[in-house]
């Protein structure tokens, strides 16, 4: 499981850096000076992706989060929510830089991505809370230690 978390963090680092390069190049090529969601994709990927999964990796080492029954639902729900969120942000931001209107439906998808992220975070905190309680509970004494 630790490799899975490492690969998730590493993937978000790569995609986050590429998104920053994409933002810089597309705005330069189009002589764009305004605000767009495209400028936020880089930080979302690095903070909510790379940094978050590095923290989860450390917590996995300490509390074996993957032993919790909601760990896999957390992992896949959170990743789906983040992927949907940054995809919609990238589309909306690119359309803004290119001078196109974005259909209102895109806002609903972005909101859906944030809702899915929130559900993933709820799974994460339930898992973390239970694992902290389980790993810090006093161990039952056996006959050999008495």
29-33 long-range CB contacts below 8 Å, 24 or more apart?
A: 30/97, 30/98, 30/99, 32/97
Per-residue pLDDT, 141: 47
Question: Contact, 73 vs 121, CB < 8 A?
Answer: no
Quote the percentage of the chain above a pLDDT of 70.
93
Q: Which residues contact 144 (CB under 8 A, 6 or more apart)?
A: none
Helix or strand or coil: residue 37? coil
User: What would the pLDDT profile of 79-108 be if each residue is shown by its tens digit?
Assistant: 999 999 999 999 999 999 999 887 777 777
User: What would the pLDDT profile of 31-87 be if each residue is shown by its tens digit?
Assistant: 999 888 898 999 999 999 999 999 999 999 999 999 999 999 999 999 999 999 999
Confidence of residue 12 (pLDDT cuts 50, 70, 90): very high
For the chain, count helices (H), then strands (E): 5, 0
pTM of this prediction exceeds 0.75:
yes
- Asked whether residue 144 carries a pLDDT value surpassing 90, the answer given is no
Q: Taking Cα atoms as reference points, which of 3, 19, 130, 4 lies closest to residue 78?
A: 4
What is the Cα–Cα distance from 142 to 37, expressed in whole angstroms? Answer: 59
Per-residue pLDDT, 145: 55
**Which ranges of 33-104 does DSSP label H, i.e. alpha helix?**
38-44, 52-63, 71-97
Per-residue pLDDT, 101: 84
For 20, the token pair is 């920053």
């Amino acid at each position: 499981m630790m490799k899975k978390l490492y690969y998730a963090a590493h993937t978000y680092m790569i995609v986050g850096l590429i998104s920053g390069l994409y933002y810089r190049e597309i705005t330069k090529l189009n002589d764009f000076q305004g605000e767009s969601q495209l400028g936020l994709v880089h930080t979302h990927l690095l903070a909510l992706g790379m940094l978050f999964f590095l923290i989860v990796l450390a917590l996995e080492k300490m509390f074996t989060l993957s032993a919790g029954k909601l760990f896999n639902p957390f992992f896949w729900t959170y990743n789906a929510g983040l992927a949907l969120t940054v995809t919609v942000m990238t589309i909306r931001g690119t359309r803004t830089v290119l001078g196109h209107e974005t259909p209102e439906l895109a806002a609903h998808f972005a909101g859906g991505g944030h809702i899915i992220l929130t559900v993933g975070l709820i799974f994460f905190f339930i898992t973390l809370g239970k694992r902290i309680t389980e790993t810090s509970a006093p161990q039952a004494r056996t006959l050999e230690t008495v």
